[in-house]
Chain A
Amino acid sequence: MDTGTGNITAGIDIGSITAKAVLLRNGEIAGTCVRFTGYNAKNAGRAVFDELLKEAGIAKEHVSVVVSTGYGRKAVDFADKAITEITCHGAGAWFMDPEVRFVIDVGGQDSKVMRLDENGKVVDFAMNDKCAAGTGRFLEVMARAMEADLDDFGVLSLSGEPARISSICTVFAESEVISLIAAGASRENIVSGIHEAAASRISAMAKRVGVAVPVMMTGGVAKNRGMIVALENKLGVSLIVSSYAQVNGALGAALLASRMG
């Protein structure tokens, strides 16, 4: 569809913590938007879309196709199609770098790994199951226990020697952290240990699917430098961090939407 403004499509990713939206115009990113999901996924989808359109100065009727993704994908009632975050993250990573063959996405409530073919199609994947260990939520809980700002949390981990945290359960790991604090372990070492514990969990899942290079890291947790380093150490490969890491799922959704138009 050509409205004089080019072919415009949108991707909307409703995650457990944030709602993300991306506009693509003629194969270029024309705008991104992130806001908290809150308790109403349906409203979050509308709000993030409206805000994005306003910021980009594009009228709703000029958007030809909308694809929704994320755990709240079915709540986006104005979307033309719902596609899982697995497929969308693969497409988003491929858009950023078509050479990428493996994606590690760590979001608020899940972490997932995907192996891609040369077209960005997912060949195999794995997701964490019924457990918050190795997710953004795990890091949030731990940052709170350590009274650290989430933004500084990763950097803090880089200056420590990882303390041993053996539990894979977020709740039990928090108890372990509290015991370590009581035992007088340094803050840096504990934070470093937390990152290593999460990275162990994610890297085991990645190895199960079979890591192929180059590897891209996406999702909100890609903002955490400590996690990137911990994962690189565990996997023995360097990670490409998408400059659109947090909105990668929405970006993939917008890209898949452009192929439907």
Chain B
Amino acid sequence: MSDHSKVNADAGKDPGKIRSVSRLKEIMTHYYIDAKTARDNSKKVAWITSGGPVEPLIAMDVIPVYPENHGAMVGASKMGVDLCRQAEVMGYSPDLCSYARADIACAVTQGGPIGGLPEPDFLVCCNNICGTVLKWYEVAARHFKVPLFILDTPFIHGEMTEEARRYVMSQVEEYIGFLEKQCGRKMDYDRMDEVGRLSVEGLRLWQAVLDTAAHKPSPITAFDAFFHLALIVTLRGTQVAVDYYKELLDEMHERLEQGIAVVPGEKYRLLWDNLPVWYRTNWLSEKFASHHACLVADTYTSAWSGILPLIDENRFLESMSVSYSSVYINISHDRMIDKLREMIEKYDADGLVMHSNRSCKPYSLGQYDLQKMVMDQLGIPSLIIEADMVDERHFAESQIETRIDAFMETL
């Protein structure tokens, strides 16, 4: 257990809001306006999975739209239950991912926080994050009657084999061909290189923002990161994202200089695993803060920048086959535990909080094994909370509260 004498001298001092929040909201509003008015500006819109290779789309001047980011907005606006129910009425199983259910319902009813996503011209689906996206995107392709490109990334058990690398690489080439056909013009590879560099720069800045949480007390929590992640997902590979993360990093450095603790009186440092519980981020944030516990890092927001060591910015497209195949939930438990170990050490965490997310099976499967490995190998206690990222019907407040309180009592 780490040293708990690190209680901040400024205990009780209000950390204040992160200034950049308003700038992020502004960027996201513009982004959705651009996407919604794409047709008026003769631009194409592609829907793409959150872990999909977006950089070629940016290079082709296509506006990428993320049903999963949309799902997160649905969750945060507490509209999930209603939309999930609508999808269930259509015949989709309540066991289906709540992002998929909410998004399918929005596509049909034009409901949700922004009146549905702009219609896609084509779809790009990469199964490095789950298998559900394949069926989800097939449904969307049928509904909108648009072409679908599937990029199949094999699961990485140990090291990625040369055959697997070539297999994905050949699909990257097909992907470029698909885009050229959809856009009716050739890929500008100079522009592609530039987008690749911007993507890497954005990811590096994002990782630097996350790394400020290694400082004691931390200037940022995972709950903040869930929000500020938005541009890494949606605008990765653009100058806008790079500029934004520079600004955010500056603000975090300012906070460090001023010794601002995001959780006043920080006493415990915890890691979060899995997607956020979008409709309860405030409640959870306050609950942990009431125990002077700061969620210093998480496996989710670091998943994008986690592949940085595998990206060669000078050979971006070629390295993409390995990097995109190696995201956190497409790797073996042995590799996951290595990542957890690295994070526990880097952020000096006292405990691990795992969200067993009913919607996200690939992320939640094996959490009990990981929990045991973390305890046996690293001596770090962990807590499993059963909930769902969007469907509030799976959140039992008093049961979760008791678990958190009891876990904090044992630390």
Residues of A within 8 A of B (CB): 71, 83-87, 110, 121-125, 127, 129-130, 208
- Contact assessment for A84 and B396 in the assembled complex, using a CB-CB cutoff below 8 Å: no
Q: Does B145 sit within 8 A of A, measured CB to CB?
A: no
CB neighbours of A110 from chain B (8 A): 399
- Beyond A85-B402, A122-B410, 14 extra complex contacts between A and B, CB < 8 Å: A71-B398, A71-B402, A84-B405, A84-B409, A86-B410, A87-B406, A87-B410, A121-B410, A122-B406, A125-B410, A127-B402, A129-B396, A129-B399, A130-B394
CB neighbours of B396 from chain A (8 A): 129-130
Tell me how many residues of B have a C-beta within 8 Å of chain A.
14
Known: A124-B381, A129-B386, A208-B368. A84 touches B406 (CB 8 A): yes
- Contact assessment for A84 and B368 in the assembled complex, using a CB-CB cutoff below 8 Å: no
B369 to chain A, nearest CB (A): 11
- Contact assessment for A83 and B409 in the assembled complex, using a CB-CB cutoff below 8 Å: yes
Within 8 A of A (CB), among B306-360: none
Q: Does B6 sit within 8 A of A, measured CB to CB?
A: no
Please measure, in the bound complex, the distance between the C-alpha atom of A67 and the C-alpha atom of B323, giving whole angstroms: 53
CB neighbours of B403 from chain A (8 A): 127
Cβ contacts A to B, 25 pairs, < 8 Å: A71-B398, A83-B409, A84-B402, A84-B405, A84-B409, A86-B406, A86-B409, A86-B410, A87-B406, A110-B399, A121-B410, A122-B406, A122-B409, A123-B410, A124-B375, A124-B381, A124-B410, A125-B410, A127-B399, A127-B403, A129-B386, A129-B399, A130-B386, A130-B394, A208-B368
- Contact assessment for B406 and A125 in the assembled complex, using a CB-CB cutoff below 8 Å: yes
Residues of B within 8 A of A (CB): 368, 375, 381, 386, 394, 396, 398-399, 402-403, 405-406, 409-410
CB neighbours of B409 from chain A (8 A): 83-84, 86-87, 122
CB neighbours of A129 from chain B (8 A): 386, 396, 399
Please measure, in the bound complex, the distance between the C-alpha atom of A52 and the C-alpha atom of B85, giving whole angstroms: 48
CB neighbours of A125 from chain B (8 A): 406, 410
Please measure, in the bound complex, the distance between the C-alpha atom of A87 and the C-alpha atom of B394, giving whole angstroms: 25
CB neighbours of B402 from chain A (8 A): 71, 84-86, 127
A115 to chain B, nearest CB (A): 10
CB neighbours of B386 from chain A (8 A): 129-130
CB neighbours of B375 from chain A (8 A): 124
- Contact assessment for B399 and A130 in the assembled complex, using a CB-CB cutoff below 8 Å: yes
B280 to chain A, nearest CB (A): 15
Chain B residue nearest to A82 in the complex (CB):
B405
Interface centre among A71, A83, A124 (most CB of B within 10 A): A124
Please measure, in the bound complex, the distance between the C-alpha atom of A87 and the C-alpha atom of B406, giving whole angstroms: 7
CB neighbours of A85 from chain B (8 A): 402, 406
Please measure, in the bound complex, the distance between the C-alpha atom of A85 and the C-alpha atom of B403, giving whole angstroms: 10
A206 to chain B, nearest CB (A): 14
CB neighbours of B399 from chain A (8 A): 110, 127, 129-130
Chain B residue nearest to A126 in the complex (CB):
B384
CB neighbours of A122 from chain B (8 A): 406, 409-410
Please measure, in the bound complex, the distance between the C-alpha atom of A110 and the C-alpha atom of B402, giving whole angstroms: 11
Interface centre among B381, B402, B406 (most CB of A within 10 A): B406
B120 to chain A, nearest CB (A): 36
CB neighbours of A208 from chain B (8 A): 368
A49 to chain B, nearest CB (A): 21
CB neighbours of A121 from chain B (8 A): 410
Chain A residue nearest to B385 in the complex (CB):
A129
CB neighbours of B368 from chain A (8 A): 208
CB neighbours of B398 from chain A (8 A): 71
Please measure, in the bound complex, the distance between the C-alpha atom of A253 and the C-alpha atom of B26, giving whole angstroms: 51
Please measure, in the bound complex, the distance between the C-alpha atom of A71 and the C-alpha atom of B399, giving whole angstroms: 8
A209 to chain B, nearest CB (A): 10
Chain A residue nearest to B395 in the complex (CB):
A130
Please measure, in the bound complex, the distance between the C-alpha atom of A129 and the C-alpha atom of B398, giving whole angstroms: 11
Please measure, in the bound complex, the distance between the C-alpha atom of A85 and the C-alpha atom of B402, giving whole angstroms: 8
CB neighbours of B381 from chain A (8 A): 123-124
Q: Give 5 closest A-B pairs by Cβ, nearest first.
A: A86-B406, A84-B406, A87-B409, A129-B386, A84-B405
Chain B residue nearest to A210 in the complex (CB):
B372
Please measure, in the bound complex, the distance between the C-alpha atom of A86 and the C-alpha atom of B396, giving whole angstroms: 17
Please measure, in the bound complex, the distance between the C-alpha atom of A71 and the C-alpha atom of B400, giving whole angstroms: 11
Interface centre among B368, B375, B399, B402 (most CB of A within 10 A): B402
Please measure, in the bound complex, the distance between the C-alpha atom of A159 and the C-alpha atom of B101, giving whole angstroms: 49
Chain B residue nearest to A129 in the complex (CB):
B386
Chain A residue nearest to B396 in the complex (CB):
A130
Please measure, in the bound complex, the distance between the C-alpha atom of A235 and the C-alpha atom of B376, giving whole angstroms: 22
A125 to chain B, nearest CB (A): 6
Chain A residue nearest to B398 in the complex (CB):
A71
Please measure, in the bound complex, the distance between the C-alpha atom of A157 and the C-alpha atom of B369, giving whole angstroms: 35
Chain A residue nearest to B375 in the complex (CB):
A124
Chain B residue nearest to A71 in the complex (CB):
B398
CB neighbours of B394 from chain A (8 A): 130
